[in-house]
Amino acid sequence: MISGIWTEKYRPSKFYEVVGQGDIIKRVESLTNSFNIPHLLFAGPAGTGKSTLALIIVKELFKENWKDNYLELNASDERGINVVREKVKNFARTKSLGKVNFKVIFLDEADALTPEAQQALRRTMENYSATCRFILSCNYSSKIIDPIQSRCAIFRFKLLEKKDIEKVIKRISENENLNIKPEAIEILYEGSEGDCRRAINILQSTAAISPEITTELISTIISNTKPKDIKVVLDYALSGDFQKSREKLLDIMLKESISGQDVIKSIQKEIWNLPVEPEIKVKLTEKTGEIEFRIVEGSDPFIQLQSLLASFVLAGLGK
C-alpha cells in the first residue's frame, strides 16, 4: 500500500458524508443549492475537510462538467505573483460551460501566498467576480490580508472530535475487512489529534502489517511516547533525582525513536496529572511552551528537554 491512497479513496463525495463540521455544511449546502456562491475562505487545521468540501461544492454545482469549470492550485508550491497574473487570471477571464454562469478557482494553502501575490489576487477577485468565484483554504486566516478576507464569506473549521474520527474509521474497517478494537480507536484518535487524514493514513499503515488492529500496533506505527513512560521521567524529576530522570528520557528518545516535539507534547499532557499545586502546573506549562518554541527554532532537543527537566526538579524542591 502507498500512504495516502486510502485518504483519496474514502474522501466524501456528498455534503452529508463530511463529519464534524455540521453548521458549516448546512450553510455551504444552502449556498450551493442556490447556484450562486460568494467567494469563500475556509480556515482551520489540516485534515478537517476544507479541500474535500471545496470539491463537493464544485461537483454539486457543475455535475459532469466540473472538471472544465474548476481550477485547483496549491499556493505553497506556486506562491509568487506570476501565478496570479498568469494561471489564475487566464482561467478567471473565460466563461463557464453549463448552466452556472461562473467558474471556480480553489487556492489551497492560500496563507502561503506572498503579500504581493495576495494584493494581485485581491484585484483579480474584484475584476472577475462576474465570471469566477474563489475558494481559498488556509490553516491561519490571520496570514490572509484584510482586503481578501472582507471579500469572502469566512468559515472556520474545527478539529474533529473522537466520535467523528470513530465514524470514519469504522466505515473504513467494514469496507476493508479490518478488526479494530475500541481501545485501538482511542489510541488512533490521540495519534491523529483530530486530523482525519492523519488518522486514515495511520490506519492504512497499520493494516499493511495486520488486519487485526491493536493498540500496540498503532503505537508502534505512530511512535508516540507512552504516558506511563513520561510519567516516570517526571516523577524522578519532581522527586529531585535529575540523573535518573535524564537517563530515562534519553532511553525513551533513543529506543523509541521519539522526536523532541513529540516528547514535549506528551509532557504537556501529563503536567495536569501531577501531584503538585495548580500554580506550579501553570509555571511548568509556561516553561514547556518556551522549550517547545526553542526546539522548533532549531535548538538541540535533548539539551532543551534537560533544561525542562531541571525546571521540574526545582518545582519539586519548591523553588
- Give pLDDT tens digits for 20-45: 888 899 999 999 998 888 999 999 99
Alpha carbons 126 and 134: distance in angstroms, whole number: 11
**Per-domain residue ranges for the chain?**
21-156, 162-222, 227-316
**Tell me: the pLDDT tens digits for 124-179?**
888 888 889 999 999 988 889 999 999 999 999 998 998 999 999 999 998 889 89
| pLDDT at residue 235 greater than cutoff 50 | yes
Do 166 and 185 form a contact (C-beta atoms < 8 A)? yes
CATH of 162-222, one of 3.40.50.2300, 1.25.10.10, 1.10.8.60, 3.30.43.10: 1.10.8.60
Instruction: State mean pLDDT over 276-292.
Output: 89
Fold of 21-156: Rossmann fold (3.40.50)
Helix axes 301-316, 242-255, angle to 10 degrees: 150
Q: What is the pLDDT of residue 1?
A: 39
Band (pLDDT 50/70/90 cuts) for residue 78 is low
Q: From the centroid of its chain, how far is CA 74?
A: 16
Tell the burial category of 65 from Cβ atoms under 10 Å away from its Cβ (0-12, 13-18, 19+). middle
CATH, domain range 227-316: 1.20.272.10
CA-wise closest residue to 263 among 208, 307, 209: 307
DSSP β-ladder status, 103-108 and 132-138? parallel
Location of C-alpha cell 464569506: 153
Q: Give this prediction's pTM.
A: 0.75
| pLDDT at residue 79 greater than cutoff 90 | no
Q: Which residues lie closer than 8 Å to 116 by C-beta, 6 or more apart?
A: 80, 81
Instruction: State mean pLDDT over 228-240.
Output: 86
Between 114 and 52, whose confidence is greater?
52
Q: What is the pLDDT of residue 231?
A: 86
The DSSP bridge partners found for residue 106 are 72, 135
Band (pLDDT 50/70/90 cuts) for residue 2 is very low
